[in-house]
A and B are shown apart, each in its own frame.
Chain A
Amino acid sequence: MRIDELIDSRHIVVCTGAGGVGKTTTSAALALRAAERGRKTIVCTIDPARRLAQSMGLAALDNVPHRVDIAGTGRGELHAMMLDMKRTFDEMVMDMTSPDRAQAIMRNPFYEHVSSTLAGTQEYMAMEKLWELHEEGGWDLIVIDTPPTRSALDFLDAPRRLTDFLEGRFLRMMLWPYMKAGKGGLRVLNFGTQVALRAVTRVTGSELFADVAEFFRSFEGMYEEFKHRSVRVRDLLGARRTVFLVVTSPSGSSLREARFFAERLAAESMPLGGVVVNRMHVVPDAGDLTGVRAGASAAAAQALDTYERWRALARAEERVLADALGTDGLPVWRVPDLPDEVVDLDQLRTVGALLAG
């Protein structure tokens, strides 16, 4: 499979991978290339390095698409946006409930913590935004960068985890005195639960409980909607016109993660397109140099030493790549390490061309 076939035919490209492997660069380079090939493209990034963001005209993290000034062919356009997690959460709450209730939720001191720090929230919001962009219509291609979570599980589990959290049985049990038992009343607690309840109440104090209970009460009735949304996002992710790319660097540690991501996606029956290996050290082949070395001057020997070191590294990287990803037929796209950092559109274009091979 060639990269151009993917970006020409798919509707959604999801770039996943650990932090620091160049996911945002890959996302932006693919989006730029797709736009220049004639597709109306939006790239949604999570936390781009500042200069890369500036190169795409993204000065502010404002959660709305901005058109990037490029010369696209045909209907090709590039738009870019940065995900604002909290704002996406706010908008979702406002969309799901009455204005009064939304206000009450957002006033709760606990809400801010949940909307900005709860594990899984960022992943959930990225998916919520993906859905919105999809629903909005008009985009030929949506390229979405994912949060740099170390655990692949977080990403696919995010909708379920958030739903579980919001309707968490245990939580509600803990909170019953503050929630006035709710519908159906309270069933008899077993001894162990009572002990646990007492222990945790003692540790946290009751004020926190009151805030938390209020928070959960305000979400009453919204759980079904959360569930509904996570199911449809999952369907969208698993659809034929979606493709996942796992992005990695050629280091042993990030390749281990890449493998983890690939396995997880396969286990979830998600459409994995292949692996992008950024910053590979690709060395042109000079064949056998022993004869040359024998007659080399000091200056030539230094150049040969340098060459041999990089060649050994390039070979080692190919070995760890083969060890990590094996021979399971996954397409692998190698992007050679560029001597300069990728911070402007021209360099993104170069990366796109290298990806396309």
Chain B
Amino acid sequence: MGTTLTGARVVVVSGKGGVGKTTVAAALAIAAAHADKRVLLVELEDREAFAPLFGLRRISYEPQHLAPNVTGLTVEADEALFEYLKVSYKIPSISRSLIRSRAVEFATQTAPGLKDILLIGKTITAAGETRDGKPVYDLVVVDAPPTGRLPRFLGAPQAVADLVRAGPIRRQAIGVHAAVVDPRRLQVVLVTLPEEMPVRETLEAAEHLAKMNVALGPFVVNAVLPPPPEHRDDARRDLAAAGATERQADAVMDVAERHARRAANQAAAIAGLRAEADTPIVELPYLFTEPLAYRDVETLAALMIEQEVV
């Protein structure tokens, strides 16, 4: 592993809604794949967020080739529960559909944290998968719930262990919790925009996770603007000299000034993050394009490699 990821097998990528965590998770996977890691990119339930980035409609419940060295997988609670029951209890196949619909209804509705355990547990299991005695994946990247829900998500194993006082579910919960708080097995990468409020929320999330003993990887600051055009007073004059109408010069300079204002706000927000963050900060540029496609993910991946994230 490179300088900024700690070497944990599972990297959980989270961030406030709208900061681009799905794109960053995909880019991280591609970056690791370029560094010759075999990567599993995990989507939780039917979010259908990764698929468009890879030109697909959805990511299947079976491991699926997404890019060289990158396998995609949608992890779903009922599949995970079924697998768990099958392996642990040798449930006859006759009741398979019944178990799936009803046991899952039970598990996910009666003990809400159970669903999160199943999702985390399945992800951790995938990270430990071996073939011929060798690990199948070097790195598992998870597009996790947004930061607002993350502590509850990662805290679910502990919460269930408190609620269920005996039995296999308790053992399972304790096992999953041990993996969540093991820095060699799991770490969280928080993605933020370079804006004051998202940065503050990110730092609060980081603090919360630290209290839960969850390892933190680098912060990723997404959508950083390039420097604004320089010598803007000269530019306005020169535009007129080059034959621009007043309306044209106004339009161009209005955009340039707004860019400068935004960039200054961003710089202040990033400085605020640098002042308080204890882990490295990775900056990714604003891409000036919509909708994002695979080539954009590649662009970000290359920049991650440059910044020695993997």
Residue numbers of A with Cβ under 8 A of B are 18-21, 47, 49-51, 109-110, 113-114, 117-119, 148, 150, 165, 168, 170-171, 174, 192-193, 195-196, 199-200, 202-208, 212, 249-254, 256, 283-287, 289, 291-297, 299-300, 302-307, 309-313, 316-317, 319-320, 339-341, 343
Contact = CB atoms under 8 A, between A and B. Distances in A.
Contacts of A117: 112-113, 152
B83 interface: no
A180 B168 CA distance: 25
Question: Lowest 10 A-B CB distances belong to which pairs?
Answer: A252-B291, A20-B18, A19-B17, A20-B17, A205-B167, A295-B242, A302-B229, A286-B251, A300-B238, A297-B238
A297 B291 contact: no
Contacts of B152: 117
A339 B264 CA distance: 10
B103 A199 contact: yes
B148 interface: yes
Contact of B261 (A114, A200, A252, A339): A339
Contact of A299 (B89, B92, B169, B229): B229
Contacts of A193: 98, 102
A306 B229 contact: yes
B274 interface: no
B113 A113 contact: yes
A150 B21 CA distance: 14
Contacts of B248: 286-287, 289, 292
B105 interface: yes
A341 B91 contact: no
Given A150-B47, A252-B290, A253-B49, A295 B255 contact: no
Contacts of B243: 291-292, 295
Contact of B17 (A21, A109, A171, A320): A21
B171 to A, nearest CB: 10
Nearest to A19: B17
Interface of B: 16-19, 22, 47, 49, 52, 85, 88-89, 91-92, 94-95, 98-99, 102-103, 105-113, 146, 148, 152, 159, 163-170, 195-197, 200-201, 228-232, 234-236, 238-239, 241-244, 247-248, 250-256, 258-259, 261-262, 265, 288-292
Given A19-B16, A253-B49, A303 B111 contact: no
Contacts of B262: 339
B110, B197, B258 pick with most chain A CB within 10 angstroms: B110
A287 B249 CA distance: 11
Given A199-B99, A250-B290, A292-B244, A113 B112 contact: yes
Given A203-B85, A205-B168, A340-B265, 14 more contacts: A117-B152, A150-B47, A196-B103, A207-B165, A249-B18, A251-B18, A287-B248, A296-B238, A297-B242, A303-B236, A316-B289, A320-B291, A339-B262, A341-B195
A340 B265 CA distance: 7
Contact of A204 (B18, B167, B242, B290): B167
B110 A310 contact: no
Contact of A306 (B228, B234, B290): B228
22 contacts: A49-B197, A49-B201, A51-B197, A110-B163, A117-B113, A118-B112, A150-B47, A171-B106, A200-B103, A200-B107, A205-B165, A205-B166, A205-B170, A252-B52, A284-B255, A286-B251, A292-B244, A302-B229, A302-B230, A303-B239, A303-B256, A306-B229
A195 B242 contact: no
A170 B255 contact: no
Contact of B167 (A47, A203, A286): A203
Contacts of B247: 286
Nearest to B85: A199
Nearest to A250: B290
Nearest to A289: B248
Given A286-B252, A302-B229, A310-B259, A295 B241 contact: yes
A250 B290 CA distance: 8
A119 B236 CA distance: 56
Contact of A300 (B16, B239, B259, B265): B239
A131 to B, nearest CB: 24
Nearest to A120: B109
A250 B18 CA distance: 11
A20 B19 contact: yes
Contact of B148 (A47, A199, A309, A319): A47
